[in-house]
Structure 1
């Protein structure tokens, strides 16, 4: 069968070019969107009197049959037909005859592919948002169980101040909430219909773009035909938002990897989310977390590929833009797979509370509270900081912790130290005293959890 665009050409396309040029191997996943968009376009052509209503009905019915054939596995796509759009048009014409050739009236593959990708991405964003919300619920459930589970907070990977596991988990809940908001915002900009832009300059036919937008559930139509066919900002924006999701998952996975090591022993991953060694029988490896961490680079790479692909091409459509799909599709697939496997890994891990508590009691994580004790008694904080630092050095020299120092030893560093200093530096009190909004005090974290549940109980943003 000849090319649908072949009228101007006197030679057949070389077989090397056929294979190099074709995108059907990857853009076939757009078939449902291509058919849905084509049905809406055909209905509009009939409503506008551009083709006969009976012809529009025949085209729509034929497209429904093509959809059924594809989903039943009865279709083998053709490389010679280049892409999903021309494959479907060829299949339609076989079914309904010459009338099928009228489908492409007032339409180009340029605005057609832009439509398909936007429709596809809107649906995929919805699924990513749902996965992010499920993960947030899991984090809330886990945090609620560990409101009183003490652990060290870190800066520079050095023990810093005591917090709770709940507070730590809620930090990630905040990250995934922002990811959800970014995805919803990205979907708003994808929710603009480009069909009707033609190849780059619209069409002379009296099309009704608003009708098609309503049929396909778009919130608006594009207002510049050149931009409509050349814009892939929405794909870049999705991949950037997906990259941030992967950053957050990767950071969390890095902590899970550390926490599951013998050096930390804060958690134990479930056997069903761990793997072993082919040589070392004792090994239990956090491979799921490691693989998610590794896959983050894959999504970052797709973002860079899209930006590089777009940066040097003039308006409007250029063949370079065919490179958008594989990057976008794999970014979608990767972030969804990682979200799907991360949540049950998190839900099934065992928290070793006693090891977390022991670590929180070590490393002088209550030294800031010692300085605060003096500051509340009128000592300038810089002086209080120095006195507390000297007390820490004394402990290091003498193999003690701050709570093991005697009161006379404390008074060597400040006469303002009294017996109540021991109460002030108890780990649980250090955490409970930080009851400012956003702090780690259990009652404060419980309030944050309650508000997050209320938000998640509402409609998807």
Structure 2
């Protein structure tokens, strides 16, 4: 079978060469977008008189038939036809005859594939954005139940200061809100049309690019035909946003893995999101969290791969750019799957408030409160820091905590201490008093929840 572009050639490639060069194995994912773009293109051709109304109608009906068959999984793609564009064109010609060959008037596969990817990413970003909101909703629901549940806060993975568990969860809510914002901002660059830019230089036919862009729901067109067919910034931006999102998910994965360990026991994951061991009957492994943490590397890899592919490419289209799709498809699958799993994992996890309560009464995370206490009574904070440090050391040597320390020891350390110090050191008091804007104080957390609810 000769190629649709084979007129200039006297030899055909061997089958293994065709297989190496073909992209149909993965770009068939773009079949609906490819047909949608073609429907808009032929309607524009008919409007501009480049094909007759009858021809436009015949081609349109043929494309609609192919779209239905594609959705039913009835199309059998051929490596011989290389990519989704030539496969669809061949199907169309077989369906309606030679008039199907007029569809490609005034365009190239270069602007066609770019159009397909713009349409594809627009749809996927909308779906990913919806999944982000679902996960934010799950975090928010848990936060609403645990405003006054206190958990040790950490720096360097060492106990630092007690915080509201809701406050901790809401930190990820706001990370996800930035992720959502990045995707939405990226839509501005996704939602522009390269259709009609041709191979690189435009076309001699009197096409109306603005009309086809309007039909496809784009906000505008690329103003330069060279840029239109060679731009992959919008995919890089999508992958960068996805890499940042996955980084945020991976950080929460790490905390979930720690929290569900025997050493922490702060939470227990639902059985749906855990697995067992083939040899150790007692095990309950947080495999889904671990897997998402691992899959983050796939998305990073897709971003770096595309950046590397594009580095040093001259204008306009080069075959290297065929490698832009698999990483994009993989990132979409990875991100959507990770978000769905995470929403279920957060919604169904059991929070062990009793273990958290015990933890914050068995550490020195209230030590800063002592330093603040002394500073509020006139002692320079640096001096207060040293006084409290020595008290902590004294407690460690005596195998006790600050709430266990006799009042005489406090008085010996500083005359500024009063009997109210034991109330001040209570974890609930420590958290409640941190009422600065954005802080972990219960009133601030309630304000944050109100703001978050409006966003979800």
Interval containing the TM-score (normalised by the shorter chain): over 0.9
Partner of 2:30: 30
Partner of 2:200: 200
**Alignment partner of 1:151: what SS?**
strand
1:119 aligns with 2:119: yes
Give the CA RMSD over aligned residues.
0.8
- Equivalent pair of 1:236/1:306 in contact (CA under 8 Å): yes
Q: How far, CA to CA, are the matches of 2:374 and 2:342 in structure 1?
A: 45
Q: How far, CA to CA, are the matches of 2:347 and 2:69 in structure 1?
A: 41
Q: Over residues 307-366 of structure 1, what are the superposed CA-to-partner deviations in whole Å (9 max), with x where a residue is unaligned? A: 111112111000000001001000000010011111111111111111111111222000
The Cα shift of 1:70 comes to 1.9
**More deviation, 446-455/255-264:** 446-455
Any residues of structure 2 matched to 1:135-214 within 5 Å, and which?
Answer: 135-214=135-214
The Cα shift of 1:67 comes to 1.2
Partner of 2:252: 252
1:374 aligns with 2:343: no
- Equivalent pair of 1:55/1:99 in contact (CA under 8 Å): yes
Q: How far, CA to CA, are the matches of 1:104 and 1:321 in structure 2?
A: 21
Q: Over residues 22-68 of structure 1, what are the superposed CA-to-partner deviations in whole Å (9 max), with x where a residue is unaligned? A: 10010001011100100110010110011111111111111001111
Partner of 1:45: 45
- Equivalent pair of 1:268/1:351 in contact (CA under 8 Å): yes
The Cα shift of 1:133 comes to 0.4
Structure 2 residue runs without a partner (length 5+)? none
The Cα shift of 1:160 comes to 0.3
Any residues of structure 2 matched to 1:38-437 within 5 Å, and which?
Answer: 38-437=38-437
The total of aligned residue pairs comes to 456
- Equivalent pair of 1:132/1:339 in contact (CA under 8 Å): yes
Q: How far, CA to CA, are the matches of 1:78 and 1:335 in structure 2?
A: 30
**Alignment partner of 2:413: what SS?**
coil
TM-score, scaled to structure 1: 0.98
Q: How far, CA to CA, are the matches of 2:74 and 2:178 in structure 1?
A: 43
Structure 1 residue runs without a partner (length 5+)? 457-461
Q: How far, CA to CA, are the matches of 1:262 and 1:413 in structure 2?
A: 37
TM-score, scaled to structure 2: 0.99
The Cα shift of 1:110 comes to 0.2
The Cα shift of 1:72 comes to 2.3
**Alignment partner of 2:120: what SS?**
helix
**Alignment partner of 2:81: what SS?**
coil
Q: How far, CA to CA, are the matches of 1:309 and 1:352 in structure 2?
A: 48
The Cα shift of 1:74 comes to 2.3
- Equivalent pair of 2:242/2:331 in contact (CA under 8 Å): yes
- Equivalent pair of 1:160/1:363 in contact (CA under 8 Å): no
